[in-house]
Amino acid sequence: MPVVQKDPIISGMLEDERERCGNAIEALARKASEYPKGSIHFRVVKSQKKKYSYPFLKYREDGRSVFKHIPQEDLELIQNQIKKRKKIEEEIKKAKERLRYLDRLLAEENRGRPRRDSK
């Protein structure tokens, strides 16, 4: 981008924004790790002409599927936590896209400058 190459103030602002995005991604990842991962499924069991539905949490750990029973009274709480985690993961995705865009802008800026040798 020609404006970035000509103006060091804009270049500095872009680098600051890139650093801020990187910090935001790390903070969001830490926040997302506080919530349960996976998704909620229901297992239906038929017993004596009645159907019972049992909720469980399904996620992957070390390459294996893990199924964890959820008590009925905790179901709503865990559903809300999973929704929050999904929302945070969407925010992380957007921040990563912004970071890639800033990297491209800064790479174009560095293309116009002569390379410094480490000698």
Q: Please report whether residue 117 resides in a domain.
A: no
Count structural domains, the chain. 1
Closest CA to 110 of 25, 16, 14: 14
Q: Are residues 102 and 18 in contact, defined by beta-carbon separation less than 8 angstroms? A: yes
Q: Please report whether residue 67 resides in a domain.
A: yes
* pTM strictly above 0.85: no
50 three-state secondary structure: strand
More confident residue, 42 or 11: 42
pLDDT(83) > 70: yes
Q: Please report whether residue 119 resides in a domain.
A: no
pLDDT(3) > 80: no
Residue span of the structural domain in which 32 resides: 8-108
Q: Please report whether residue 52 resides in a domain.
A: yes
How many beta carbons lie within 10 A of that of residue 66, not counting itself? 13
The amino acid at 75: L
Position 7 scores a pLDDT of: 74
The amino acid at 87: K
Over residues 20-31, the pLDDT tens digits come to 999 999 999 999
Q: Please report whether residue 103 resides in a domain.
A: yes
C-alpha to C-alpha distance for 67 and 36, rounded to whole angstroms: 12
